[in-house]
Chains A and B, each alone.
Chain A
Amino acid sequence: MLTLLHQLRTVKVVGIADRNPDAPGLRRARELHVPVFQESDNLLRVTSPDLVIDVTGDEAMETILRQRLPAGVGILSGPSSRLLYDLVKHEFALQAELLQTDKLAGIGSFAAGIAHDINNPLQLILGLAENLTEEQDLETVHLQARDIVEAVKRTTAICRDLTSYSRRASGRSEQVVSLNAKLDEALKIARYAVGLQDIEVRKSYWPEATAIGNPDEILHVFINLMTNAIQAMDHGGILTITTATCDDTTIVKISDTGHGIPPEMIGRIFEPFFTTKPPGKGTGLGLYNIKNVVHRMHGSINVESHLGQGTTFTIVFPQNKPEEDGRSS
């Protein structure tokens, strides 16, 4: 429950109380930098909440809380808190399914790039192996056998990249993620969907760019934005990837010099199922999923676009700084 509520952008979890200092909820709260208390009285006194959610299962607790809480503070208790938990869980499961749907749809568009990148080393392997059946010169045999080994390694790297992309994001928990490494990984995968041949890639990285989140989800965000950017430059252009820091935030910018987004559409691009691509080419879930992932990380995403000049997506992530929670017991 705490993890789910923490991810809701509209909710600020001001604290959690449990008498057992080793309770799993308190451990998770510490990981999320949510203040923890052993006495609920302290929590109520210090944090002045708008809503208290009672998950003790103790029927008497609601009465006790009503006696202690000031007027106007809401209480969710018993079956109500259970219902809230089920609804929030369902919402997150739905979002995870939409993310996975979008990813699997994306794999279809990778077919050309994957075939290209696997069949090229296979051609080398086949040609050299055929030659080795007749080759007499021992040094040539060694050199060509080494080339075959390298080609096999390249092919396995492709499979590894795709496995990492197609994996269900829910399998991994939140952690500190190096955004520069994820951007590089995303660029490798995005080029399967769209050839990078006539695209110049410019990178400018702040070396310590990190964010707290699910690494698979962050990877998906970057792949999606880069794929869109490259597809917008069908006659070549410049893809600029920047990470920077400003006022306790980490900023990621992905810019293209493509055809831009028409002003009448820009307000709708984050809506679910909104797409400007022809039928079968896009699910319309990409930017909607991206917005959800970024919001769950308590970040924000903005777009600036000029017709005929290009588009820039800017994501702002909060930096990984523990809250001042001297109140924690």
Chain B
Amino acid sequence: MSEFKSGFFMGSESCNGRVLIVDDEPDIRKVVRLTLQKAGYEVLEAENGAKAIETINTGENRLLLDVIICDIRMPKVNGIEAIAYFRQNYPRVPLIVLTGFPDTDMATSLLRQGVVDYLVKPVEGDKLKAAVARAMEQRELARL
């Protein structure tokens, strides 16, 4: 699958990349969107794993999605199942876990599966932006 930097297609030099936030809490999606949009990212939202899978398979997202930020405890397809799907079908899209419940065993397992960062809520805006920036670098390297 050919992959291109999203800014190329969007014709917007100011866009730093396209990020999908997957969380069942609208408040979390809202505040992540607020933080990342101010940092120049385009932000898409999904309220559960099933919606996230639908979103990444829709239109240009399968090519242009740069980073996924994913909660664990969600209805329908939960974070663990969604992450397994993304790793299998979109292995070059970096995944960041943003969870309300710190679980060392789960963090270790997810990082082994290729998740690039495991963040525990509440996470400061700067840390979130730094994690997304690191993931974007990884995404760029994957495109080379």
Contacts and interface: CB of A to CB of B under 8 A. Distances in A.
Contacts of B25: 120
A120 B123 CA distance: 10
Interface string A128-140: 1011000000000
B73 interface: yes
B40 interface: no
B31 A197 contact: no
B100 A120 contact: yes
A116 B101 contact: yes
A119 B121 contact: yes
Interface string A281-310: 000000000000000000000000000000
Contacts of A197: 24, 73-76, 78
Contacts of A126: 31, 122-125
Given A115-B102, A119-B120, A127 B75 contact: no
A130 B125 CA distance: 7
Contacts of B43: none
B30 to A, nearest CB: 7
B27 A124 contact: yes
Interface residues of B, number: 25
Contacts of A147: 27
Contact of B100 (A115, A125, A130): A115
Interface residues of A, number: 23
A128 B30 CA distance: 10
Nearest to B103: A112
A127 B101 contact: no
Contacts of A115: 100-102
B73 A122 contact: no
B35 interface: yes
Interface string B66-85: 00000001111010000000
A111 B34 CA distance: 29
A112 B73 contact: yes
Nearest to B128: A127
Contact of A120 (B28, B76, B78, B124): B28
Given A112-B101, A115-B101, A117-B100, A123 B76 contact: no
A275 to B, nearest CB: 23
B32 interface: yes
Contact of A123 (B73, B78, B122): B122
Given A118-B100, A126-B125, A127-B32, 13 more contacts: A117-B100, A119-B120, A119-B122, A120-B27, A122-B122, A123-B122, A124-B28, A127-B34, A128-B34, A130-B35, A147-B27, A195-B73, A197-B24
Chain A to chain B: the 4 pairs with minimum beta-carbon distance, closest first: A127-B31, A197-B75, A119-B100, A116-B100
Interface of A: 111-112, 115-128, 130-131, 147, 151, 195, 197-198
Interface of B: 24-25, 27-28, 30-32, 34-35, 38, 73-76, 78, 100-103, 120-125
20 contacts: A112-B73, A112-B101, A115-B102, A116-B100, A117-B100, A119-B120, A123-B31, A123-B100, A123-B121, A124-B27, A124-B31, A127-B32, A127-B34, A127-B122, A130-B125, A131-B34, A131-B38, A147-B27, A151-B27, A197-B75
